[in-house]
Amino acid sequence: MSPTGNGTTLNKYFKKINASNQPGIGIQVFDAFRRGRAYIVANQYDKRDEQATIIKKELSKVIGYKAVDYLNGYMTKIDAGNTADAFHALSEAYGFVMSLQFTNDGTDNPYFTNSEVNAFLALMDNFWTVQNSDLESIRDEVKTKFGI
């Protein structure tokens, strides 16, 4: 079963990531929620915590994947001379990059600190002067930290 993309925004992103980056991610998170709930009922809190870790890490990967996708989208579109679509992609990338500080590596630590994220955002602040080399650097750091 694959995510339908209907309903909440999160499910729409699961559908996109399932189709392109990590097949099965939506089902993996759904199953972790379902198993976690069953472990709560059975008072198996160590197993519940294992499922919570899966949820934290996989939901965070959604942020990482989309940051990378939108950064790549911007660079492709700006190189093709499509400024309006490029700026749309860059604004989406900006939001996902900002969200990196709220991710969770499974140990309740973000993949990127607030300071790291603010340094990235400073490089992206002026859409008219942003450099692809800076965006490539951000993209590569995200890919490395998330292992994607």
Alpha carbon of 36 to those of 56, 63, 105: distances in Å?
Answer: 12, 22, 18
pLDDT at 1: 52
Tokens 């994607």 -> residue = 148
| Alpha carbons within 13 A on the beta-carbon side of 84 | 0
pLDDT at 29: 92
Q: How far apart are CA 35 and CA 44, in angstroms?
A: 11
pLDDT at 14: 85
Let me know: does 111 contact 61? Beta carbons within 8 Å. no
Q: How far apart are CA 58 and CA 105, in angstroms?
A: 9
Regions of the chain short of the pLDDT cut 50: none
**pTM listed for this prediction:** 0.87
Let me know: does 64 contact 148? Beta carbons within 8 Å. yes
